[in-house]
């Protein structure tokens, strides 16, 4: 993507959420891509960090601690899932390169051979395209297709 068009914070976070939902949570991909770990950590953070932040504030206030550090700690706890969504959003837009791009085309050909109509994306092939393709492949093909690559 060129530097003249940079999506804003909220667009990147929305794309990160979409990417997180479209990435297949398959153990076989964990050794190759960090997405599985980042998605799990982000989902955990979305679910548990707001209550933890409230607990931190209440705990600190109950013991008459300084309010500034308590608020800073709570804000940091709430920022962790946002950081995960940001990373996922940036990753989703990143173009595939080298072996990963070849891998994308090989999986696409396998899906087409099995009767699935898979169009090439317009412009550069990104990790978001890979996530969508992998999701289709895991639904349509035998999971052993990864071993053949």
pLDDT for 119 beyond 60 = yes
Domain ranges for the chain: 7-93, 95-149
A 10 A CB-CB count for 86 gives: 17
Compare 90 and 143 and report the one with higher pLDDT: 90
Show the tokens assigned to 139.
């639904």
Contact between 90 and 42 (Cβ < 8 Å): no
Q: Please, which pLDDT band fits residue 1 given cuts at 50, 70 and 90?
A: very low
pLDDT tens profile 70-115: 899 999 999 999 999 999 999 999 999 999 999 999 999 999 988 8
**CB of 19 within 8 A of CB of 131?**
yes
Number of Cβ within 10 Å of residue 87's Cβ equals: 18
Q: What is the pLDDT of residue 5?
A: 63
């Amino acid at each position: 993507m060129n530097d003249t068009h940079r999506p804003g914070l909220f667009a990147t976070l929305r794309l990160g959420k979409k990417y997180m939902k479209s990435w297949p949570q398959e153990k076989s991909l964990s050794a190759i891509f960090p997405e599985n770990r980042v998605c799990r950590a982000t989902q955990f953070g979305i679910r548990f960090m707001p209550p933890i932040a409230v607990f931190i504030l209440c705990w600190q206030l109950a013991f008459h601690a300084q309010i500034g550090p308590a608020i800073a700690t709570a804000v940091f706890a709430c920022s962790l899932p946002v950081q995960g969504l940001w990373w996922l959003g940036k990753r989703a837009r990143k173009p595939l390169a080298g072996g990963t791009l070849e891998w994308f085309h090989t999986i696409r050909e396998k899906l087409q051979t099995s009767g699935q109509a898979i169009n090439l994306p317009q412009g550069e092939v990104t990790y978001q395209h890979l996530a969508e393709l992998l999701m289709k492949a895991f639904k349509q093909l035998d999971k052993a297709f990864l071993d053949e690559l």
